[in-house]
Structure 1
């Protein structure tokens, strides 16, 4: 019997050859997650075409699957998740930026952004944030690809149950293992020895299974060197998402580890 395919995705809303979408593929057996390979996509179209292929997998994706209910209600957008996402996808990025900026400008200092229920638990940025990091644009680029591919989105939208897509956040698992130490940076000038050591410590902790997910990462020497040497952290983030996918797959359907209280408009971050 073959082990089901797992995937973890480090996403970019504007991928390029230099900064592609990175996908870690692997399998799980007896609590060991084996990394088989990394796939890279320089365009959203190429990534979408991969997702739309027939297959059998459980994947964890590093972009938000929903907007804060408070925001959606105030903007009087549809309260049904699918209708809300179709409306959101119809907007341009400048329209999103201007709409969200107006929302924030009308609110008091210290509570400019609306948050989802899972954001506080996961320590993630609000999904309406359009800069540093631009997760609002990641949602805008990513969710339509999942909808077009017809994948199953537990708690949000019924789809092809052989391809299960779950929202992940690599920072949640990284913080559990190395605290608030920074392990990556896209800026070459900020790719310091301290961040290199943090990546090594993070990978070692994953290999030893030092997480509440109770899973151990299995790497070859070459894979380990590659993850250590990738100072951007994109490949390592994809692997962190792969670990979260393995945990979700282990929890099984219909919710794959998502709590019953998860808001069907906002979505939920896996293992938060």
Structure 2
């Protein structure tokens, strides 16, 4: 059986013929060439994407490209997007893929029901997509205002299981804003969103959480910072240690495949103090792992309104 699949973390599209894509230098900072879609027997094409709610030249959407063939995950190239149009254009040019996105695809059921946003994932995500970012943030702020301490930012079932923060959070690590920017775009593009909004589209999106890999290797130590004043040589050492570990036999025993990383990608993972490139690599590994599990590791009894982190 021929399989040509992309897993995008990010997570985070129309059918178009396979063709070479010219990079737009004004909007895409590209390392490696975006070539023809791979279509070989038993080969799965994978993208690992580290998402941001406000892409720019200083804070990009980072993407790595990989191929999973038999028991080898080969991470070969990396790309950087400085705006949403170029990112979405990149996704729409590939006709078949699975995307693992590093942002919450859903919100807590308690929030959705209390705000009466809708009965289905598509309904409330479409409603959010009609808001401005300011309206979305103000809606969550007002919701939290009169609630008791400890009940202001809810967790989804999957957040509790994975140890993730509330997808309602719009300050600090603003995953709520990432949801606002990411989920409506994924819905509008027509993707199959698992498990929230499955369709017959051959492009499927799953939510992942790269921090689960890094925590297994270095615990709670910090290996990245967007603040240049807080970037240290120790963090660089930890990034190298994470790379060393995922390329070791430990990874194969855990995930069932060997990880091979191109030297240029490796150097970028270590030198990129923001951690974006490394997180994209971890996203690709986690997405590849999910792709090998029945139903991507999503339990049958999960809440489809909230979504699920595939770990």
Task: Show the counterpart of 2:129.
Answer: 89
Cα distance in 1, alignment partners of residues 307 and 297 from structure 2: 12
Can you list the C-alpha shifts for 1:61-92, whole angstroms capped at 9, x where unaligned?
A: 11110000011111111021100100111112
Q: Is the deviation greater in 83-92 or in 218-227? A: 218-227
Contact 2:78 2:265 in 1 (8 A): no
Secondary structure of 1:185's match? Answer: coil
Give TM-score scaled by structure 2 length.
0.82
Alignment of 1:1-272 (within 5 A): 1-2=40-41, 3-159=43-199, 161-211=201-251, 212-251=254-293, 255-271=295-311
Cα distance in 2, alignment partners of residues 160 and 56 from structure 1: 12
Contact 1:177 1:210 in 2 (8 A): no
Contact 1:52 1:150 in 2 (8 A): no
Secondary structure of 1:9's match? Answer: strand
Cα distance in 2, alignment partners of residues 158 and 10 from structure 1: 23
Give TM-score scaled by structure 1 length.
0.93
Contact 1:64 1:167 in 2 (8 A): yes
Q: Is the deviation greater in 212-221 or in 32-41? A: 212-221
Contact 2:44 2:69 in 1 (8 A): no
Give the C-alpha shift of residue 111 in structure 1: 3.3
Secondary structure of 2:149's match? Answer: coil
Q: Unaligned 5+ residue runs, structure 1?
A: none
Cα distance in 2, alignment partners of residues 22 and 59 from structure 1: 14
Give the C-alpha shift of residue 109 in structure 1: 2.0
Cα distance in 2, alignment partners of residues 41 and 124 from structure 1: 25
Give the C-alpha shift of residue 194 in structure 1: 1.6
Can you list the C-alpha shifts for 1:198-251, whole angstroms capped at 9, x where unaligned?
A: 111111111115353344321133322221111100001111110111012212
Give the C-alpha shift of residue 176 in structure 1: 1.6
Cα distance in 2, alignment partners of residues 111 and 173 from structure 1: 29
CA RMSD of aligned residues (A): 1.6
Contact 2:190 2:201 in 1 (8 A): no
Q: Unaligned 5+ residue runs, structure 2?
A: 1-39
How many residues end up aligned between the 2 structures?
269
Secondary structure of 1:210's match? Answer: helix
Secondary structure of 2:259's match? Answer: strand
Cα distance in 1, alignment partners of residues 142 and 126 from structure 2: 21
Cα distance in 2, alignment partners of residues 43 and 83 from structure 1: 26
Cα distance in 2, alignment partners of residues 243 and 59 from structure 1: 12
Contact 2:128 2:184 in 1 (8 A): no
